[in-house]
Structure 1
């Protein structure tokens, strides 16, 4: 397999949830995994939008969905969605019993009203 700039197939995920939300007691809607370093961040619909913040601070260009069963990649600089790409080190999604939004004990009742659209 040839190397793709911005993807390290050996980088393992930083955890099972958004590392930045976990650090401050926040919550997320969906999760994204940096394809270069494995950092798990929350999606742009989430209140804090940590996956995009990670790209802006590091320049790591690609994320893959960290939702179970999803394989798509997003290329931030190009603004392009790829339906699939190289396999990354497992796990490829958060635990199936982890709810979205999550984590369950930190999601406010009015969460749909708090999403970015």
Structure 2
């Protein structure tokens, strides 16, 4: 009986993606978990994960960096009402994007 060795142990394990989505969705309540998630995300090597997980890691990274850029822009805006509106729209966009990505990961689809 000939058996083939496993290609990559844990290649279909998407628990890292689920953990990072959970940390990022904590953003409206807390600031530290999403920043920790972003640090973990940026530390990942693309060569050690499946294409599906890599697409989600990239999706999360760009979502978080875009949100931080939009919040910095909202902080710089001199009109308070415009800064508040921009911040709220940014948070709604971010939550929508993270939920959409997480649902795609649950379904096994790349984003």
Higher strand share: 1
TM-score, scaled relative to structure 2: 0.31
Higher helix share: 2
Q: Which has the larger radius of gyration?
A: 2
TM-score, scaled relative to structure 1: 0.30
